[in-house]
Amino acid sequence: MNALVAYQDGATGSGIRIGIIDSGIDLQSEEFGDCSRGTGTGSCRISSISADVGGNGTIDDEGGHGTAVAFALAGRRNGAGTHGVAFDSQLVVLRADSPGSCATYDPDDEDSGCSFDDRDIAQGLDIATNAGARVVNISLGGNAPSSALIDAVTRATAAGVIIVMSAGNDGEANPDPFTAPATNAAQSHGLIIIAGSVDGNDQISGFSNRAGTGQNFYLTAVGERVRAPDQENTPFLWSGTSFSAPQISGAVALLAQAFPNMTPGEIVQLLFTTARDAGDPGIDAIYGRGVLDLTRAFQPVGQTFVAGTQAVASNRVNATLSAPMGDARQSGLGMVVLDGFDRAFAMDFANTIRRAAPGKRLTGAIAGRQRSYALGIGDIGVAVRIAPGREGVRIDRLAIGSDDAERARLLAASVTGRLGSDLQYALGASESGGALTARLAGRAEPAFLIAGDPATGSGFESDSGTAVALRHRIGSWGLSVAAEYGDVRTRALATEPDLLRRRERLAYDRMTVALDRRFGGLRIGVTGSRLHEEDSVLGARFGGALGAAGADSWFLDLAARQSLGDGFTFGASWRQGWTQARLRGGIIGSGAIRTDGFAADIGKRGVFGRGDQLGLRVSQPLRVRDGGLDLTLPAGWDYASESVNAWSHQRVNLAPEGREIDVEASYSARFFGGDWGANLFWRRDPGNIAAMPDDVGGAVRFNISF
C-alpha cells in the first residue's frame, strides 16, 4: 500500500478511534499495548467502550480471526516482525460472534466456524458510532443484511462513520450480498468501501469477489499471505478479503489524523482518486476503483494553491528564468500549499525554477532563406528582409552588411527619412527603439554576428514588433526619442512534458530618450529607457506561487566611438539597469534587481585593400548583478482556524554565478561583385551558466545583389 510516505509525514493513527466488529481480540497480546490492568488503561489501545455484543461474556478472542484483523489494522510498530497500518490508533472492539460458534471450526466443513447475527452486528455498529469511531471495519460477509442492520448502517453513515466491508472470498463476479448498502446512496451516504484482494503484483486474487455491481465503491489491497498472530499469539499467513479491509480502514485512520479538515466523504473520495489503476483503464468490473496507494494519497491532489492566497502553485515548474539570470541558484524556497482537498503540504519549490537554455546564436544569425530589398528615393530609404517560413512570410531584423557604415545604417531600418534639415525619423518592424536611435545618431561599427551591443537590445529573447524614433538636431547636439512595442519570448510554465518546449509571447513596451553629440572624431551618447513588462521580469516568467510578477526596468546607457585616424575606430558602450518587480495574486513581497552589460570594439578599414574592414569586439550581454524577489510565504497552517499561522521571508535569487563574455573577430571585403565576410567567436559561460562548455564557432558568408 506504499505507506512509508505517510509514516515519514508523521501519520500513525494517533487519536483516531476505529471500530472492529469481529470475533474479539487477544487481550493477552502485547501488540495493542499493556492491557493487563484492563482495557482503556495505561498504554492499552483497546478502548474501555469495547463490548461483547454476541453474548460471550468477554471480548477475548476465541477463533483468532478478530485478532488477526485487528493486528493488520493496528498491530504495534516495535521494529520487529510486522505491524498494523494505523499502529497508534485506538480500537473499539465489538465481539459479535455467536457463543460457541468459533469453537466448531472444521477445515473440511465450509459451514463450520464463527457465525454472526445481524442484530449483534447492528448493535456493535451503534456502539462504535456513539463512541466516535471514524471508521468501522467489518471483515464479514454472507447474505443480504437484515432491515435492522441496514438501519444501523444508515445511522452510522449519516453520523459520518466510514464503513469498510469485505467483498467476500468466493471468486464471484459481484461482491457478497452483505455489501448491498454500499450501492444504496440513502443507506451509505457515500461512506461505504467494499474491500477486494490483490496479490503483491496488483493482480486480483483468485478467491476475491470482483467489483461487479459495486465497482464504484470497490477498492483493493493486498489480501494474500498477510502475516498476523491468532488468538494464541501464533503468527500465520492469512489470505482473504478480510485482510484487505483492515488495511483500507487503517488508511482511513492515517488520513483522518494527518488531515483533520477532511470530511469523511472527502477521505473516501481521496482513496478512490489516488488508487493505482489496474485492469481496464478507469473504473472497471474487476478492480473497481483500483489498488490502495497511500503514497499517492499523502501527496497533493488536484490543483494546489499557496496557503492563504489564490495563487496557483505547480509541483513541477513555477518559473522559467531568462538569459540575464543564467544559473541563479536557490538555497531553498519552502512554503505551505493547499491541494484540491484543502490539505496543507510543506513543499520546497527551489527545484521548480527552470533555467533558460543558452541559445545557439550562430544558427539564428545565419540560418534560413532570406531575401533583402532596399529602395532609396531622395531622403527616404526603405529596406526589408523577407524570411519565408512555415507560417508564411514575416518581417525580420536586418543583418548588417559589409558596405560602408552609412549604407549599413540605411539597410538596418525599415523606413528612414528627414523632415526638414534638423529632424530625422525611423520606422522599424522587428527593430528595437534603441537600435533605431543609435542609427539615427550615426553610430557606425563593424559587423558582428554574436557579440552584440547590450545597449541596443533587450538582453533576453524578444521580438520587437513596431518601433518609431525621432531625432532632432540642436546645434552640435542630437535629441532622440523612441517608442517600441513587442513580445517577450519565454518558455511556457506548462507541467505536461510535451508542452514544456512551447514558447509563449508576453507583451512589453519601451520608451527611450537619447542625447548624442560629436566632438570632431569623437561621438558620444547618453540614453535612458524604461521597459514595461506586464507578465515577465527581464524576460523571465514567474507563476502564481512566486507572485506572477511583472516589472518596470530603467536603463542608463553610455556609448562612445572615436575615430583614431588611418581607418581605425574604437567604440565602447555600457549599460546599467534597475528593475522593480510587481507581485500579484496575494503574494506579499517585492523585487529589486540590478543589471549591467558592456561592449568594446576596435575596427580598421583598408587592412589589405580598399574597402575591407577588420573588427574585434569583447562584450558582456545583459546580466543580473544582484537582487531577486523577496517574498513573504506561508510556513505553517492551522486546521482549526483554516488560516496561516506562521510566515517566513525568503528570496528567489536571480543573480547567476556564471558570467558570459563574448569575443568575436570580424572581417569583410568586396569580392567578385559581392560582399563576403568571415566571423570567429568565443563565448565563455554561454547564457551566464558557469557549467556550460565554451561556445566556439565561425561563419563565412557571401552576399550578392542583383
Report, as residue numbers or ranges, the catalytic residues.
22, 65, 242
The three-point CA angle 667-671-675 to 5° equals: 60
Which residues 6+ apart lie within 8 Å of 303 measured at CB? 312, 339, 340
Say how far apart CA 505 and CA 22 lie, in whole Å.
64
- One-letter amino acid at 202 equals D
Say how far apart CA 554 and CA 72 lie, in whole Å.
66
Say how far apart CA 227 and CA 84 lie, in whole Å.
10
CA 25 to chain centre: 47
- Asked if 122 contacts 5 with a C-beta cutoff of 8 angstroms, the reply is no
Please give, one letter per residue, the 3-state secondary structure of 499-558: HCCCEEEEEEEEEEEEEEEEECCEEEEEEEEEEEECCCECCEEECHHHCCCEEEEEEEEE
Please give, one letter per residue, the 3-state secondary structure of 332-397: CCEEEEECCCCCEEEEECHHHEECCCCCCHHHHHHCCCCEEEEEEECCEEEEEEEEEECCEEEECC
Q: How many residues appear in the chain?
A: 706
- Asked if 699 contacts 362 with a C-beta cutoff of 8 angstroms, the reply is yes
Count of beta carbons in the 10 Å neighbourhood of residue 663: 16
Count of beta carbons in the 10 Å neighbourhood of residue 54: 27
Count of beta carbons in the 10 Å neighbourhood of residue 439: 26
- Measured N-to-C along each axis, helices 433-440 and 405-412 cross at an angle, to the nearest 10 degrees, of 150
Instruction: Supply 243's cell numbers.
Output: 485482510
Q: Report the candidate in 643, 535, 629, 536 with the shortest Cα–Cα distance to residue 588.
A: 629
β-bridge partners, 703: 675
Torsion 650-651-657-658 (CA) sign? positive
- Asked if 244 contacts 256 with a C-beta cutoff of 8 angstroms, the reply is no
- Measured N-to-C along each axis, helices 65-74 and 245-258 cross at an angle, to the nearest 10 degrees, of 30
Q: Report the candidate in 105, 71, 65, 66 with the shortest Cα–Cα distance to residue 86.
A: 71
- Measured N-to-C along each axis, helices 264-274 and 245-258 cross at an angle, to the nearest 10 degrees, of 120
- One-letter amino acid at 335 equals M
Q: What are the distances in angstroms from CA 2 to CA 116, 201, 487, 577?
A: 33, 13, 47, 52
Q: In what order do the strands lie in the sheet with 218-222?
A: 51-52, 90-95, 17-22, 135-138, 162-166, 192-198, 218-222
Count of beta carbons in the 10 Å neighbourhood of residue 475: 7
Q: Report the candidate in 187, 237, 192 with the shortest Cα–Cα distance to residue 218.
A: 192
Which residues 6+ apart lie within 8 Å of 566 measured at CB? none
Say how far apart CA 385 and CA 398 lie, in whole Å.
6
- Measured N-to-C along each axis, helices 118-130 and 147-158 cross at an angle, to the nearest 10 degrees, of 20
Residues 635-653, buried b or exposed e (16+ Cβ, 10 A)?
bebeeeeeebeebeebbbb
Rounded-to-10 torsion of CA 674, 680, 681, 682 = 170
Residues 323-349, buried b or exposed e (16+ Cβ, 10 A)?
bbbbbbebeebebbbbbebebbbebeb
